[in-house]
Structure 1
Amino acid sequence: MTTRLSFSSFSSCHLCLLVVLALFRSCSSKQNSEPVLCIDAERQALLRFKHGLTDETHRLASWVAENKDCCNWYGITCDNSTGHVHRVHLPGHGGHCPAYSVSYFTEKEYTDASKQRLKGDISRSLLDLKQLKHLDLSCNDFRGIQVPKFIGSLQNLKYLNLSNSKFGGTIPPQLGNLSNLNVLCLGSFHEFNSTRNQQA
């Protein structure tokens, strides 16, 4: 009789322990599956970057202070475990930029195509994106400004695409500091200068 009672008590305790462990694992997995929000300092950096741009088609409409999670903003990808921004992907024309030699049939078609390109300045606030690995600003229209030298300080960059975005001047030698870079695209870098010289 005593042996049965002890065995029954042991089984009940064992069962309770298994239930507690199962609940703990369930709660733990739910916590781990919750998305990590972007880092506030990096969100502020992106807002300053946006402030320097002209966005005529409102591609960056989701980039607002009220939207706290910059990981859900257009063109932004974050690391799932740390929340650091590691991808800024903002090519004009969806990355399929037309050649500058294309003849548009109407002024409206030309204007509409031009609006698909971001314009303005590139803010140094990008330096606050400490884990940035991918930067694509191709097919935009930076109207002859020089590629910012500070881009050479984005030490974690593995992919940099500034092609067909009407940059002028010379390619800054600081880009040579990007020791982790696997892909560098600067195609049609001098297109803006050559077009301007022909028109002069």
Structure 2
Amino acid sequence: MYFPDNSNGRRIVITTRDSEVAEQVASSKILHRVNFLDEYVCRDLLCQIVFGEDDCPDELKGLVSKILSDSSGLPFPIHVIGGLLSKVERSRDVWENVSKDVKALIVESDEQRLSNILSLSYNHLPFHLKPCFSYMGAFPEDYIIKGSRLKSLWIAEGIVKSNRDKSLEEVGKDYLKALVDRNLLLVRRKKHNGKPMS
């Protein structure tokens, strides 16, 4: 039904977060609204991001629900929060603090809420990754850049600092991987070996 065979060999799918745009485009076509994720799917998604195949420890289960209580069922904040939680200590105290931070930030409009979630993640970044993430503000929204070019720009700007064990390129690669692991950069294309390309 969504992709009728009208014998012309092509289909067009338009996605948008703006309901007015969707209604304009789909005036005579089918409009599909994506539902928010329910509580159980949200919890499963967050636990998969944070713990992988392992189960969530019993002492953190209540906090997972508490952290997700204001996510509004949106995958993006769940991914960003999951990226943050996957890098912090798995203790009740640390997760309580993250829970308070999340609760304080998720009280605005959708756009402000997403900005707040990103600022929460930024505040919990290690010091050496903050300039790398801030540098992304130099690019337009949804800009696609090769990882190798991004590392070269970070090195040229002096953002990546060498340590005695690794070259600048290796350190840049580690920084890039850390931001991807925290779900702050989205991988668009991968190499044949599965490593991020852009």
TM-score over 0.5 for the alignment? no
More helix by share: 2
What is the TM-score with the length of structure 2 in the denominator?
0.26
Q: Which has the larger radius of gyration?
A: 1
More strand by share: 1
